[in-house]
Amino acid sequence: MGIIQASKLVFEYIRRDEEGNAEGITRAVDEVDLDVKQGEFVAILGHNGSGKSTLAKHINAILYPTEGVIRVDGMDTREEAHVWEIRQKAGMVFQNPDNQIIGQVVEEDVGFGPENMGIPTKEIWERVEESLKAVGMYEFRKHSPNKLSGGQKQRVSIAGVIAMHPRCIILDEPTAMLDPNGRREVIRAVRALNQVENVTILLITHYMEEVIYADRVIVMDRGKAVMQGTPREIFSQVDKLKELRLDVPQVTMLAHALKKKGVPLPDGILSAQELAKALGY
């Protein structure tokens, strides 16, 4: 059975004006079915306001469905008795690390989650060490988070989630504020967690290059999952993605442009190596 299963998931909220009077209802998530297997790496794309973050917040019971049902490791998120277990199994990393860091010292911040779970002290420190090493922040363990750059803070937030040993991590645009190296490091850490530890990954991003490592890509638009497939299947549809305010990796775009000029190339080229091969090199 999948670690995350949603069927006909709907989330609606009431729009209100300045005085708090109801103006209308917005359906942010519209009958989404989801079945994510343990160990799968799923990327979610979609323009701003397409419903991807709202969907993600259902997975660790920050939001509850208006209609339909979502289960994490078999547990219905609406059953209050399961909330803590669900949040421990499905950890979430947000875009802005400033809203996620609470400790005065990096290692204390990372230890906060496991400590709250009642893990013995010795094991907490082991987890803090392995988590900080996984994101390349171990040398900063004694620093104050306030003194770190945005990118460094974000890696600490990810370590804080990893330290809880979740089975699934949902990352909501974790690299939006990072420099190229920070992005590479975060994505490398995420892939290692996925491949080595078999942690399920749900990655929401606007960076198309980060998606090519995913097993599966889901594209959202107006609350619906409108496209689903492997990165190659999805990125083969350049024009459709552009219509949805999205993009493709530059190499895919380059191959697409060359093809339009008459160069015989297949759709959905995802790497420079593939392009070279297709060009006969």
Partner 1 sequence: MSIILDHVSHIYEKDTEMAAFALRDVCLTIPDGQFIGLIGHTGSGKSTLVQHLNGLLVPTGGCIYFNGQDIHQEGYDKKELRSRVGLVFQYPEHQLFEVDVFSDVCFGPRNLGLSEKETQLRAFEALRQVGFPEEYFYQSPFDLSGGQKRRVAIAGVLAMKPEVLILDEPTAGLDPKGRDEILDQIAGLQKETGITVILVSHSMEDIARYVDRIIVMNRGSVLFDDSPKEVFRHGRELEEVGLAVPQVTYILRELKERGMAVRTDATTLEEAEREILQALGRG
- Residue 258 interacting with partner 1 (CB under 8 A): yes
Q: Residue 23 corresponds to which amino acid? A: E
Of 179, 192, 197, 240, the residue at the interface with partner 1 (CB under 8 A) is 179
- Measured distance between the N- and C-terminal CA atoms of the chain, rounded to whole angstroms: 44
Query: Where are the strands (E) in the chain, listed by range?
Result: 4-16, 22-36, 41-46, 67-72, 75-76, 90-93, 168-172, 200-204, 216-221, 224-229
- Residue 75 interacting with partner 1 (CB under 8 A): no
- Residue 146 interacting with partner 1 (CB under 8 A): no
Q: Are the CB atoms for 167 and 180 separated by under 8 Å?
A: no
Of 30, 107, 109, 173, the residue at the interface with partner 1 (CB under 8 A) is 173
| Interface positions, 97-136, toward partner 1 (CB under 8 A) | none
- Residue 180 interacting with partner 1 (CB under 8 A): yes
Query: Of 58, 64, 85, whose CA–CA distance to 4 is shortest?
Result: 58
φ and ψ at 147, to 5 degrees? Answer: -90, -5
- Residue 171 interacting with partner 1 (CB under 8 A): no
- Residue 208 interacting with partner 1 (CB under 8 A): yes
- Residue 226 interacting with partner 1 (CB under 8 A): no
CB of 205 to partner 1, least distance (A): 10
* Sheet with strand 22-36: strands edge to edge: 22-36, 4-16, 67-72, 75-76
In this structure, the strands spanning 75-76 and 67-72 are antiparallel
- Comparing CB distances to partner 1, the nearer of 118 and 262 is 262
- Comparing CB distances to partner 1, the nearer of 123 and 243 is 243
- Residue 149 interacting with partner 1 (CB under 8 A): yes
Q: Are the CB atoms for 200 and 40 separated by under 8 Å?
A: yes
CB of 68 to partner 1, least distance (A): 25
Contact region with partner 1 (CB under 8 A), list: 73-81, 128-136, 148-156, 163-171: 148-156
The C-alpha atoms of residue 59 and residue 66 are separated, in whole angstroms, by 14
Q: List the alpha helices (DSSP H) in 79-230.
A: 83-89, 106-116, 121-134, 150-162, 180-196
- Residue 157 interacting with partner 1 (CB under 8 A): no
- Residue 221 interacting with partner 1 (CB under 8 A): no
Which parts of this chain interact with partner 1 (CB under 8 A)?
15, 18, 46-49, 95-96, 148-152, 173, 176-183, 206, 208-209, 242, 245-247, 249-251, 253-254, 257-258, 261-263, 272-273, 275-276, 279, 281
